[in-house]
Structure formats: structure tokens, C-alpha cells
Copies of this chain bind each other. A is one copy, B any other.
């Protein structure tokens, strides 16, 4: 593994998953890997799970870590190549990333989409620059289009809780009050469409189709109720439209996941990456039910990160 930015970087996902389960069973057993290593974490926007799980993962591995809130803690960054920097930006990302690489052995970076410029976002222009300028391995802590550490944690969660050989996993769109990125659903599709023991279904209102390069021909079912039938896992998430880029096309409360929805499943487990707006995306009753895996998923963020750090630092 050279960098970790998508499912493709995971290489043999079965081997990586096995390693994650091994690390989770023995979290402090690999500290020779992290000894004298420093993990750098750069955030261009707020974070709770990613920030804290990455720190915990580094510590479990015997490594040190630092966090930089780009902007608040440091300088305003220029991202345009060739810019004459006589305006508000104080440092070019080229220099900032090269320099930060000097202070760590692996660099985790969170960027975010504009949700306005589809070409820029789906070209991963900013993230790819960071990968290019870095002189150490880069881990995506979420980019404009993907969130692979989340999807890997989700895979760990499903793998360790499933009761059957094959399971039906449903990614469902759910309503929200703000226009959100497509990173989590893109990434979930990028991973789960590849898992050979998963029957993967995506359900959403028309107009919410994700980029086919991530859904890879997965079954799309516009009837949410039909999609839920017999499901073992319901993965809820809002996203804004990819087609009408960044737009909110529906706020239909019928798509909010409720106990009535869950009753259609085969005693299905409920998943969400968090943060979640309660009683907008999903009801309290579902979130607080014994079938809710939301806290376990969040806990597995430590182990997806720790496994990736292990691979990049070993």
C-alpha cells in the first residue's frame, strides 16, 4: 500500500479485513511498527470521529501524532498553480504539504467538496495535489468524493456481526436539511459492491443516482420499501444530488428510516456513519434499538485507521 484514498488502494480487501480483525483482537500487539513514528493529521473542516479515532489508532500502534486545523492553527493556503500570491493567501499548498511531510511519517488529510464545481470535486483536484506534493504516504480522512476509512470500518462492522454466509446490505438515501457531500455513499458503494459475500442494493429517490464509477453496476431500487425487504443491514445516509450537482431534490419525510421501515427487513441491523440528525434522517427508536450498530461502527474507525497505518508504516 502506497497511499490510502479508495477501495483500489486497499489491494486485497480480504487480507486487509483479516488484518483489521486481528488488530482489533490485539490492539497493542503491533507497537514495534509505530515506534518512533509520527502520524500527521490535517483537517480543512471539523471532525470528531476521524480526529479522535486516528489519534487512538496512532497511540494503539505506539506512534505519536499531531493535528493541524488548517486555517485556524496555521496560514491561509493557496491552491492554484502559478498564482501570484498578492492577495489573501499566505502559503501555497505545495510548500505546506512538502513541509508537513518533513514532520511526520504518514499524513492523514481531510478535504471537502465545493458541492458547486463538479469537475473540481470529482477530479479530486485538491486532494490529488496533496498526494502529489506529499513525500510521505497519504491517508484520506475524507476527500471531495470518498471516505474510505469509514467504508473500511463499515466493512469490519458487517463482517464481525453477520449471522449468515451471505448478507443483503442496503444503502438508503434519507432526508436532511442541508446539502451534503456524496463521499460516504460513494465510498460505501465503492467498497460494498466488491465484497463477494454481499448482495448490495442502493435505494434513493430519482435524481439521486451516484457516480457510476463508484456504484459499479450495483442494483438500484427506487422503491425504498422493496429495497428493504429481507435486508440484513440498512445503511442510511443523506446526500445531495450528483446529477443536479449539490442540489437538494427531495426532503420527503417518508424516506426517514423508522421502525416501520426496519420491520420490512430480516431483523436487519441499522448503520449510519454519524453525525446523524435524529428524527430527520432516522428516528430515535431505530437509533436506540438493540439492532443499531452506530456506536460499534464509530469504534471500528479506530481499527480501520490502525490497520491502514500498520500497512503504511510496516
- Decide: A82 and B279 in contact? CB cutoff 8 A: yes
Answer whether residue A299 sits at the interface, using C-beta atoms and an 8 A cutoff: yes
Copies of this chain held together in the complex: 3
Asked if A302 is at the interface (CB within 8 A of a chain B CB), the reply is yes
Q: Check if A98 is an interface residue, CB within 8 A of chain B.
A: yes
Residue of B nearest to A87 (CB): B177
User: Could you say which interface size class chain A belongs to?
Assistant: 35 or more
Q: Do A103 and B56 touch across chains, with their CB atoms under 8 A apart?
A: yes
Kindly report which residue of chain B lies nearest to residue A69, judged by CB atoms: B73
Check if A266 is an interface residue, CB within 8 A of chain B.
no
Contact of A99 among B36, B48, B92, B280 (CB under 8 A): B48
Chain B residues closer than 8 Å to A64, beta-carbon distance? 55, 59
Q: Which residues of A36-64 are within 8 A (CB) of B?
A: 36, 38, 40, 46-49, 51-53, 55-56, 59-60, 64
B residues near A27, Cβ cutoff 8 Å: 36
> Which B residues are CB-close (under 8 A) to A263?
none
Are A96 and B48 touching (Cβ within 8 A)? yes
The stretch that binds B, out of A111-119, A155-163, A269-277, is: A269-277
CA distance A213 to B301 in the complex (A): 43
Q: Are A52 and B75 in contact (CB under 8 A)?
A: no
Q: Which 5 A-B pairs have the closest CB atoms?
A: A91-B275, A102-B299, A85-B277, A48-B74, A52-B103
Other 8 A-B pairs with CB < 8 A, given A51-B68, A92-B276: A46-B72, A48-B100, A52-B103, A75-B275, A86-B177, A95-B275, A95-B287, A102-B301
